[in-house]
Structure 1
Amino acid sequence: MAKKQQPKNQHERTRVDHATEIAEDYVEAIAEMIEEQGVCRVKDLAEHFAVSHVTVNRTVARLQRDGYATTEPYSPVELTTQGARLAKDSRRRHEIVLSFLIALGVSEETAATDSEGIEHHVSPETLAIMESFVAKVQG
């Protein structure tokens, strides 16, 4: 029996998606905290993600290195223009996936949990179809 052909870039795309997951989660959280509280501190992120301050500091350092965030010692974390754009795009994907799952009949609690992972791996094509489906269901 012939082995089923996998798309050439399937695994590569998954690796890239995994590499950007943390950055997307962090910039989305930073944007939400700034929106809700006016400021985002390392301690806020540590509490939000239930991780240590060291983990947050390392992640924020990577965000700075990659041009998504800025901060100084003992100062709030802020997003760069690039970081704000990534946060907006991530939030949009999240909202579409969440709405799609709820439209399918998934409970809000489960949809909220599931959308956290799916949002990072959904292709633009699939996302557009999800968005269209939700519009038809709600329309």
Structure 2
Amino acid sequence: MSSELPPRLAPLDPGHPYAQRLIALSEAYMGALYPSESNHFEPADGLRPPQGSFYGLWRGEQLVGCGGVKHFDADGYGEIKRLFVLDSERGRGVARQLMAQLEAELIERGVRIARLETGIHQPEALALYRRLGYVERGPFGGYTADPLSAFFEKVLG
């Protein structure tokens, strides 16, 4: 039996050094998969209240995953941004827990649509979003059509 600590989900400032480390790892990962014009990195300030929020999932003292949502209340949706999980934690439900928290926050704000953009070279992410009930759609907001991007939307309960 493992004596591993249960994960702890908590709000996190995206400028925190631990968050910045995961964000840097995410950008390096995306940079290896896609050309710069196909990467749409949200600055940390865009994921701070009131225009957004950011969460981290901790296992003990280690931040193992993070994700945020940018609020587009006037347009009636929130956009999931910066979802990233350490390689060692993938397949353990970390992304699912983060997504549930982000969706719950949108519902609490009265927002009923969650949208996101991800890349086509991330089969695990694509499968996760589909399992969570996201359906493909066209570009939204400031995005333009990109053959390397996949756009998703989910109507929240």
- Pairwise same-fold verdict (TM > 0.5): no
Higher relative contact order structure (alpha carbons within 8 Å, sequence separation ≥ 6): 1
Larger fraction in helix: 1
Report the TM-score, using the length of structure 1 for normalisation.
Answer: 0.30
Rg larger in structure? 1
